[in-house]
Structure formats: structure tokens, C-alpha cells
Structure 1
């Protein structure tokens, strides 16, 4: 065998495992890996402007491909900046691998330059965190990282890579590609599910989450439509099935359709597929309680550790989501009568998702989203971070076949723009739209430089109400008319876009939005619509005045 540096061995393992892109802010702690990437054209290196953007882009890439998104950052502040993205990947069940350049092995435990115990730091928010001390074992660690990141409930892996270890020249045996592990559903459990369906009067399905895929989306939509079962998307999993499916019932989470909430409460059988049934989806574990005494819960999840972890499951099924969805799609039970609730639930959602213009609102975001629906194709990828602004798109946008939604279930700010950059690089033939609030956008607005550097074509819609809107909403509810720490002074976002080589449009009225969007669609590169809204119009159904009156 030929002697190779640890950096060369590491990059070779990524290539063997099928990695075609990494995201990074370079650090002196992993120069040997960067040197190896120089001679590896199969792996594109995307240089970002801050490690938060690096980790968010890797998470978004993992969501879009189903393969681990790969990121490299340096020790200390590089790793801690990236930790927000690791947390997103953990809560979103996204396959991801973060490599952290570390100080030399001999200097450990002396509080050396930028030293952090990365195993201890990342273990609570990662599926696995470890350090590679022996260059000969790099193939073993990388293969295990790919397995851990993708098996069961997908999630992030963090590997610390000491600088001197990457410079070591050793003989190492490459590991072959790690094949996906697919847990076949138990036919007996699927048969039991169909028996429960025959006994049910008002079933409902909640889908999206761990291991979800276009294959799962296709087959589960067929199954649910054939049997007339309403399908609700878990929080920010709205592309889990094509929203044109005749039984799609809308999303759960913050501000869902009241009719959908009531449908969930009235259901005698809940079929949760891929979803953890987390706090956001279940409205603080109240919409469906962990013990759900008046409901039967069938919980299908790829990780046995999630089954029974919080929710008692009357019928737990551990299975790969694609395999499960295909099995129920192909299952034939002539005794199962088709439910009428599916079409009713879809009609309720169609009515709920149709914006109604409001008088006295200069820039009404509901009709703006409707204009986007008319002008952009169904395969458009909508990316957003956290904030009050996102509710308009969650309610009124119709999501197509996944991946068409990149949004963090953890509610982190600053995610939308890095995710949009990653999407625009991954899918050059599809429209990509970042929707951001003013506070949300400026968390990672510097990644416009990354978009410009890699000729990414994307539309950015900045909803500017001069405030941290969500916090202001809660503040007005709990402490009316006592504004504290929520007002923002913002730049001219149009000029900011132009500074990065893009174009921009200032939008102050609803009538101006459509023409500005038309101009943006006709252009390429960075296009930003600066939408100035009134902070008094705090959500698509609530105003500050209403909150103060409560």
C-alpha cells in the first residue's frame, strides 16, 4: 500500500462514500484535508462566509439528497458557530457529518489555542461525536459515520480531526461504500394496521420526518387517496406528499387550520408515519397527548428507540419509510370501505389556503403568496428560517413533490438563505426562493457572497416590519404596550443585494409585488424583493390590537 497523509485518506473515504460536495470555512487545523481536496475534482468545495452558514447548507443538502451533507470547520469558534446547524440536523432528523479540525494530540487538555472537548460539547445534540486519533483508522470512522448518520432515525455525526493526525503518513485500507440499511415492515403488523382501519370511523394520518423520501411520499399518497384517509403534514414537513393529492389536509404546528385541529381531536385512529410527534406538531403534546386515552395510535418510525419514547403506541411498527409506504400501497384488503373524510379534509385545506385580501393593509402578504403560486412552478423550492413571516407561506403556499420545502423544525433563525444557496447549487434547473424576515435574514445575510461566488440563482423575499416580529407578538400578548428589545433599525436591503452583484426591488404595496416578482423571474443570479410591512399586522390572522385586547 502507498503511504498517504491522514488528510488524503479522509478525502479518499468521502469520495468512496459518494460525497460530491462539502461546505466549509477554511481553518489551519485541517490544511492537509484542504490540500487533498485540491486534487479531488469529484468533490466540489463550497467556501462559505460563516460556520453557521456552513452547517445550515450541509443540513439542507442532506435534506435534499437523503445522503449526509458534509461540512468542515475549524476548532473553537468555528465549531461553536456550526453547532446551531448540528442542532437543526438533530431535531430535523437530517443525515449530516461535521468534521472539526482540532489541535495537535500532544497539546490536548492544556486549554490550548481554541481548545474544546468536542465529544463532550456535541454529544447531546449529535447521534455520535468522536475524535480520530489514528490516521490508520480514518476509513473505519468515516464508514461508521455514514452508517450512523443514515441508519434508523437519521441525524448528525461530529468527528474531531487533530491537525497533526491529518499530516501523518500511514498505510490505511479503504472501506467500501456503506450501503443503505432498509428495515422491512412486518407483514403481520401491516395486517394489524388494516384491521384497525376497518374498525375505525375517523382515521387520520400524520406524515413526514425521519427517513422520509420521494418514494415514501409517492406510495403513501397512493395508499391514503385510495382509502380516503386525511393526511396532515407534521410541522414544516409540508412537502411530505404533493399538496395536490386529493386527501392532503394541511400542516400541523403553529397556526394550523382550526378544522384540521378538530379533525385530529375527533380521530379515533391516528397513523403517524415518520413523525416523532414532537412539541410543535402536537401543540405542546396537547393536540395528541402522549397517552391519548380516547385514540388508537399506530406509530411507524425507522428507529426502534423512538417508538414508545414519548408516545405510547398501540401498534408500533419499526420500518424503513419507503418500504412501509410501498407495502401499504400494494396491500389489498377488499373488506376495507373507503372513507369520505379525505376529500372533505382536502376541501377544508383548499379553502383555508386561499388568501382573502384585507382592507386597510398596504402590503398584504396573503395575495403576494397567491401571486407566487400563479407565477412559479410546482417544483419551486421554498426556504425559510424562523419568524412570524413564515406563517403566510406555511398557510398559503402549495408545496410540490419533495424536496420543495427547506425549513427547520427547531425554529432556528438565519436558516433560509444558506439553505437557498445550497438548493440553488444542488438544483440549478429549479426556482429557489428564500423567504426571510428582516431579523432572520441578517443572521446569515453574508451568505449572499457565497451565492455570488458560485453563481447561484435565487430569489430572496425579505419581509421587513422593523421588529423581531414573533417576540413582539408574544410581548404584546403578555406585556401589552411595553416594547422592549424587539425594535430593529434595518439597512436598505435593495442596495445590499446590489452590493453583492444582484438586483433588488422595493415593494411597499400589494399591487407592486406581482410586477416586481415578474421582473425577478425574468432575471438570473441574486434577486431580492424588499417588502416593507406594518408590524401591527403581526400574523395572517392576528394584529397587535387584537393581542392587546386579550
Structure 2
């Protein structure tokens, strides 16, 4: 029997579902819409192959898919409806783009015969998503479904990984066609050029103060082990890029801290003293480079620190900083090649490495913060009782600098955070992580502002029977903006104070486990009860609004602003007499 006779007519909607099966997709996250009703029916037909996760908000669905992509290295898949649904989803697309996470987003679309009539919810997605995605396409011909979806998965995972957006027109999903499925292409990853690692080792052999910066995405477990062995064999001090703490063991004597937003000033100063930078996998963007101040853009030719930049996308190498050596390679492949190289004999930088480690240990010591809750101590006690394979997720905000500074992400743990600074990421990312790896403990850190952006996604956790633990750090304000406000306009609080619910009672209303922590010694017992409950859990940590950052109080910032004004010869800055008190609806204490 010929191949043509074996192919049965299928609708475009069913073809999309079958194309996902052909690409090895196991999970898809969605908010349903009538614009892709036929795809939903196709997914019903493959429900034993693909778990369809029903979410409550499009941004939440894409954040869950993005977390899946971060953890597995395979493209996360999400479906949203047209118009408003696509607009909500764009936040997650931006996260995936800046975080280099493989993602494929499907957007339901109007019938193509209505194009350019300003039809109901009509948007030109090629124009809308062009700056946010690696590739944007629209499928109007059902016969091209297998081809275009296969290409979308190739684009999402090749070079620098990232998001692809596919609009699927409504009537295309109904059309019956006879075409075969297309599976993944057998593509070997790019390896370092033959002289790449020898040249790197030659440069390393001449160094006295080298520093490695580890970043990027799609590291496999084997790749992470290989790069760790290379770094340890050469006794290199290792930093991680912004929100990439899961790439290197934070308890290792070679770990020097993270180079990102809120990095230790002492580490930043030492990084400027380095005589060789090994940037492995990371982009050298604004957070890592501390606002483009850490290195000389013209590179070694202008007297700057020589940089060896390893990245899977050639166009990313030299995009901002001219490297002394650029190595285009799959990160796992580079790690294996580097591990095979003979280490530097008796490296002369052991003292330099120890000095950087001492700085890391010093900054991780919990200060004696005023008040009954020392959040730094609470976090360090908390990490002692969490499993060694815990997955952490974090949101954007000042609260996020506390886990960065005081916690030590272990070798088998993962840490997911939005490098684009998207609030509302952590809770859905934690749910996506728990759905991806239900056997692992997942802890989400989120501020009170970020939680009320996507905290309703906790309903998805109940619906799909997973139990993440959410730690809401509540200081009744948009803390980051308030920090900048106090630095520039001290005491003149505008637009940053918040009124919050009782968060523990919020999750209890779903049937979850709620706790409220106001003292240091309450944290670990609350965590243990949350873990033992077996239900989605939330721990509200009531942090003093006065402790605006882990390094400064509101009074400190006001004093600094006043001192700066006086030094500049300006008149004293007018300040309000007192900050507005945080407001809470419902009872303050439970």
C-alpha cells in the first residue's frame, strides 16, 4: 500500500495536536478560546499523550510553559486566544526571549478572509510579536501545519534558544487535508572549533586573576556536571549570571556569588580586577555587566580585560563587548571539550579564588536586623530543611535580593527567575515546575505586589493536583520603586503603598494550607507544616516596611539622599513627616 493511501484526512486542528505529538511534546498550557476550538478537540484526541493544563490567565499559562522550557531544555508549549489573550501572553514571550528559553506559543486567529477589516479581536501578530520573538508566523493552509510546526521547534531550540509565535487562523483548523506528520530533525549540535579549547587553555595559563561567569540555558545535567569538573579542576572562581544560581553549587569553595541586579559591591570591584573573563553561556547584557560598566567595550585592544565568550549564537559574541576569543558552540558540547583538556598545572590564582570566596561568605552572613523577624536567618534555617533537589522560583522585586544573597542553591537544585524583571512570574512558574516534576519540592518566592498579579493561578495547582509552596514576602508596598523613590524624593511617597488581603486566608479559601510568619523562629515550623500538608501552601512573611532592602532601611536611604543634596550644594530635600501606614483589609492577626 502506498504512503498516500495510508494517510487519513485530518482537520487542521487535529494536525496541530498530532504535530505536537510528533515533536515529543508532553505538556501544553492554555487558557481556552473559541478561536482555537478545533485544536482543543484535537488535543482531546491525544489526551493520553499530551497533558493539557488549564490556566486562569494567559500570562500565567506562558510563564508555566516557560518554566517547563527552562527545566527540560525542550520548548514549552502554550495556547491562548486572539486579541486580549495574545496581549496578556506577550509578557511571557518577553521573559522567554530575554531568558533564552525555548518556547512555542500558539495564538488563535480570526478567519483570514476577514483580514484588515478590523474584525473582532483582530491583531497582526507578525507585527505585534516581531520585537519579542525569534520568529512569528501564521498558518492559513492546513497542509503546511506539520512543516511550519516542525520548523518552529527547530528555531526555538537552535542557536540562542527563544520563543516562536504561531498564529492559527480559525477556518484553517476545520479544513481536511492529507499530509504526513514531521518529526524532529536529527541535527548534531555545534562543537568548538579544533583550536578553540587549546587557545582558551593557553590564555588561562597566562592569567593570574581569572574569573568565570556561568549562564545561558538548555544545559543538560551531564553538561552541568562537565563544566563543573572543568572549573573545579582548574580551581577557578565561579560567578553566575543574573538569576542563574542553579547552574553552579552555591556551597562550593569555588563559588564567588552572582553578577546581576543587587550584586555584592565587593564582588563587582573584584571582577574589575580580573585579568581574564571566561563568559560561558551567558549574554554580556546590562545586568551581568552592571549597567555596561564592568568591562571595556573595545576589549583587550583598548586596554580592557580579555574576554573569552562561549555562546551557541555567533551573533551574540561581540554584540556589546569585543572578546579576545569567541567560541561558537553548544554549551554541553563545550563543557565536554573543556573537561577533556589538561588542567593548568599548579594554578597561581588559588589565593585569588579564596579571596573571592571569602567575600561571598562574608556577604552571606546575616546582619543583626532590627525587629522580631530576621528574614536572612529565616531563609538560611529554611534551606536546611528543604530537600537537596528543591526547585526555587522567584519573582521580580527587592524581596528577591534576599534569597540571592543569603541562600545557597545546591548542586542538584534549580533556580528559575525572570531576567527581564517581569512581576507575576514566580507563582505560575512554580506551578509549571511542579507539573513538570511533581516528585520534587517547589518553593516560590514572591512579593505582595507580584503575588496579586498572578496569584490566582494557585487555582491551577488545585485543579491539576500539585502542591507548590508559595512564600509571599509582604511589606505592603512596591518595594523596588519605593527604594528609588526614597533615594530621589525621600519621604514623598507616591503610588507605591499597597493594601493587601490576609494571604494565608486567601489560600485557605481554596482548601490549601496557609501560614503567617512574623518572627524568625516561626519560619521553619511553618515550612514543615506546609510540606507535611500535601496541599498547595502559602507562607506569608510579614517583613518590616522600614527594611526596604537587605542592605538599607528607609531611614538610611533618606539620610543618604539628604547628604548627597548637601554635598551638591542643593537645598535640603523637603520630606514628608511620616510614611503612610500599610493598610490591610480584614484582621491583622489570625
| TM interval, short-chain normalised | over 0.9
In the other structure, the counterpart of 2:137 is 130
Structure 1 contact 211–274 (Cα < 8 Å) conserved: no
Between stretches 156-165 and 327-336, larger displacement belongs to: 327-336
In the other structure, the counterpart of 1:353 is 364
Quote the Cα distance in structure 1 between the aligned partners of 2:343 and 2:469: 47
Structure 2 contact 476–497 (Cα < 8 Å) conserved: yes
**Are residue 304 (structure 1) and residue 304 (structure 2) matched?**
no
How far has the Cα of 1:332 moved from its partner? 1.5
Determine helix, strand or coil for the equivalent of 1:424: helix
Quote the Cα distance in structure 1 between the aligned partners of 2:343 and 2:426: 44
Quote the Cα distance in structure 1 between the aligned partners of 2:328 and 2:389: 31
In the other structure, the counterpart of 1:87 is 94
In the other structure, the counterpart of 1:104 is 111
**Are residue 15 (structure 1) and residue 21 (structure 2) matched?**
yes
| Alpha-carbon spacing, 1:448–1:181, altered in 2? closer, same or farther (3 Å) | same
1:143-158 matched pairs, under 5 angstroms: 143-158=150-165
How far has the Cα of 1:510 moved from its partner? 1.5
**Are residue 288 (structure 1) and residue 298 (structure 2) matched?**
no
In the other structure, the counterpart of 1:183 is 190
Structure 2 contact 388–413 (Cα < 8 Å) conserved: no
Structure 2 gaps, min length 5: 1-6, 561-590
How far has the Cα of 1:215 moved from its partner? 2.6
Structure 2 contact 235–347 (Cα < 8 Å) conserved: no
Structure 2 contact 204–344 (Cα < 8 Å) conserved: no
Structure 2 contact 245–409 (Cα < 8 Å) conserved: yes
Runs of 4+ in 1 over 6 A off after TM superposition: none
Determine helix, strand or coil for the equivalent of 1:512: helix
| Alpha-carbon spacing, 1:439–1:333, altered in 2? closer, same or farther (3 Å) | closer
In the other structure, the counterpart of 2:232 is 225
Quote the Cα distance in structure 1 between the aligned partners of 2:234 and 2:261: 28
In the other structure, the counterpart of 2:53 is 46
Quote the Cα distance in structure 2 between the aligned partners of 1:212 and 1:546: 41
Determine helix, strand or coil for the equivalent of 1:242: coil
**Are residue 57 (structure 1) and residue 64 (structure 2) matched?**
yes
Structure 1 residues 120-160: Cα deviation after superposition (integer angstroms, max 9, x where no partner): 10011100001011110111101100100000000000000
**Are residue 486 (structure 1) and residue 496 (structure 2) matched?**
yes
Structure 1 contact 214–402 (Cα < 8 Å) conserved: no
Structure 1 contact 212–274 (Cα < 8 Å) conserved: no
Structure 2 contact 34–81 (Cα < 8 Å) conserved: yes
In the other structure, the counterpart of 1:395 is 405
**Are residue 507 (structure 1) and residue 517 (structure 2) matched?**
yes
In the other structure, the counterpart of 1:2 is 8
How far has the Cα of 1:180 moved from its partner? 5.0
How far has the Cα of 1:181 moved from its partner? 4.2
Quote the Cα distance in structure 2 between the aligned partners of 1:157 and 1:413: 22
Query: Which residue of the other structure, out of 247, 251, 258, is the alignment partner of 2:265?
Result: 258
Query: Which residue of the other structure, out of 538, 542, 547, is the alignment partner of 1:537?
Result: 547
1:186-335 matched pairs, under 5 angstroms: 186-292=193-299, 293-332=303-342
Between stretches 518-527 and 313-322, larger displacement belongs to: 518-527
Structure 2 contact 379–403 (Cα < 8 Å) conserved: yes
Quote the Cα distance in structure 2 between the aligned partners of 1:294 and 1:409: 26
In the other structure, the counterpart of 2:30 is 24
Structure 1 residues 301-343: Cα deviation after superposition (integer angstroms, max 9, x where no partner): 0001111111111101000100101111111256573530334
Quote the Cα distance in structure 2 between the aligned partners of 1:334 and 1:61: 38
Highest CA radius of gyration, 1 or 2? 2
Structure 2 contact 470–538 (Cα < 8 Å) conserved: yes
CA RMSD of aligned residues (A): 1.4
Structure 2 contact 382–523 (Cα < 8 Å) conserved: no
TM-score by length of structure 2 reads: 0.91
Determine helix, strand or coil for the equivalent of 1:187: coil
Quote the Cα distance in structure 2 between the aligned partners of 1:135 and 1:483: 56
In the other structure, the counterpart of 2:580 is none
Determine helix, strand or coil for the equivalent of 1:158: strand
State the aligned residue count: 549
Structure 2 contact 391–414 (Cα < 8 Å) conserved: yes
In the other structure, the counterpart of 1:414 is 424
How far has the Cα of 1:402 moved from its partner? 5.8
How far has the Cα of 1:96 moved from its partner? 0.1
Between stretches 532-541 and 77-86, larger displacement belongs to: 532-541
TM-score by length of structure 1 reads: 0.97
Quote the Cα distance in structure 1 between the aligned partners of 2:521 and 2:57: 37
Structure 2 contact 257–267 (Cα < 8 Å) conserved: yes
Quote the Cα distance in structure 2 between the aligned partners of 1:389 and 1:302: 33
Structure 2 contact 388–412 (Cα < 8 Å) conserved: no
